Amino acid sequence: MRHPWRVESTPEPVRRRDTRLDSYVDRYAARTHGMTASAIRALFAVANRPEVVSLAGGMPNIADLPLDVVGATLQDLVLSRGLQAMQYGAGQGEQEIREAICEVMRLEGISPHPDDVTVTVGSQQALDLVTRIFCDPGDVVLCEAPSYVGALGVFRSYQCEVAHVAMDEHGLVPEALREAVVALRAAGRSVKFVYTIPSFHNPAGVTQTRERREALLAVAEEADLLVIEDNPYGLLGFDTDPIPAIRSLSDDRVVYLGTFSKTFAPGFRIGWVLAPHAVREKLVLAQESATLCPPTFSQFAITAYLRQHDWQGQIKVFAEMYRERRDAMLAGLAADMPAGVSWTVPAGGFYVWLTLPPGLDSQAMLPRAVTARVAYVPGTAFYADGFGSRHLRLSYCFPTPERILEGTRRLGEVLAYEAELMSTFGTLASARPAELPSSHNAPGTNQA
């Protein structure tokens, strides 16, 4: 069996995919060579047309935000502290918001100190800063199979190599993590950290149990491995209180990333890193060289919102709305998917992960799905190495329940047609390998 982490000690150079039409092509730094627009980007321009039901994007639905309250808060902010709010601020972020962020993290069992929080431009910049301070070109980063496409892009841009680690319905498999670290180190590779999304995973939709989090941390301790815990969705659970964050189990092994993008609004672009105390200084220096300081106005605005509004009640309103949409998607899938399709059942967050019958290829199928006026993200987007063609991600966060049902109906028709073609003419899949190596096992539970 092929083990993708058993690679030679010298990393392969990133394959150059720039076009000669760009006259600057010879001037770009090597790190830009992995930065290419995906082939599916153009299709998404079409997918955004109103007649297409897009189950592709992960945009939060913020229509339930009380704009009158937010508007009054902003007006009050400008009139009372506008000059301070519109000035440069501290590189680490403002003290007031760092204290408020600590309150938010307490909901997931973390007992943080504001001094250890660095405010960032969304958790996307947190990913960038963490990679910047820890990773050299050729270092290996361990990621779930599948993983967040935006994180894979960051790791690629710092010329890291991603090794995927198998997941099941409880998320990252600790034993697979142990095996991967041992094999990589035996091959002389430098493994910098494991990146994980423990709650309501993007794109897999699964959540690590408390026991699973403890087991993962035990492997990390044993292997002296840093854990990057990315948790944008943890407070958007449908059924239970949040499961304690991995960071709540260890102060010095885990770097925790959070954001207000899903629990308030992404437009303010405010996220954060909670890092072990020793790491804080490097993070702040990296933040200062990247931005001088994170946006002061956004920080003041969010602090005021948290103080003046029932933000926890607002999160419950969001979660209820997403639960209704999740229910619509699960009902639609149960009604419309042809035999052999399976999917995960998320208990929170935005995403469902589908596994197609062998031979079907979600990337090859996408133009036909868009023609049938439904869009999704092919599974290959969530793997660093071209695997994932038997999977796809569906998002239920943005369309209404009625549109979701229409979307699953259209997708069901496309899949049934593809399956029929396949049974008549043999495999539709391109030259892509059909079988995943065991390191790429992805979760998929419900079966049509």
Ligand X SMILES: Cc1ncc(COP(=O)(O)O)c(C=O)c1O
Residues that bind ligand X (CB under 6 A): 58, 122-124, 148, 150, 197, 202, 230, 232, 259, 261, 266, 271
State the minimum distance, in angstroms, from the CB of residue 321 to ligand X.
17
d(CA 158, CA 131): 7
State the minimum distance, in angstroms, from the CB of residue 160 to ligand X.
17
What DSSP designation does 232 have?
Answer: S
Task: Determine what percent of the chain falls in helix, strand and coil, rounding each to the nearest 5.
Answer: 45, 15, 45
Select 280 or 393, whichever has its Cβ closest to ligand X: 393
Select 189 or 192, whichever has its Cβ closest to ligand X: 192
State the minimum distance, in angstroms, from the CB of residue 349 to ligand X.
9
Q: Which of 361, 360, 393 is nearest to 376 (CA)?
A: 393
Select 116 or 144, whichever has its Cβ closest to ligand X: 144
Select 228 or 415, whichever has its Cβ closest to ligand X: 228
d(CA 193, CA 97): 28
- Closest residue to ligand X in the complex (CB): 122
- Taken as a whole, the chain contains a residue count of 448
The region that residue 188 occupies, defined by phi over 0 for left and psi between -120 and 50 for alpha, beta otherwise, is: left
State the minimum distance, in angstroms, from the CB of residue 372 to ligand X.
26
Tokens linked to 67: 């704009």
Select 118 or 123, whichever has its Cβ closest to ligand X: 123
Select 4 or 58, whichever has its Cβ closest to ligand X: 58
- Residues 331 and 128 sit within 8 Å (Cβ to Cβ): no
State the minimum distance, in angstroms, from the CB of residue 89 to ligand X.
19
Q: Which residues of 240-254 are buried (b: 16+ CB within 10 A; e: fewer)?
A: eebbbbbbbbbeebb
State the minimum distance, in angstroms, from the CB of residue 70 to ligand X.
18
Helix ranges restricted to H, 158-276 = 174-186, 210-223
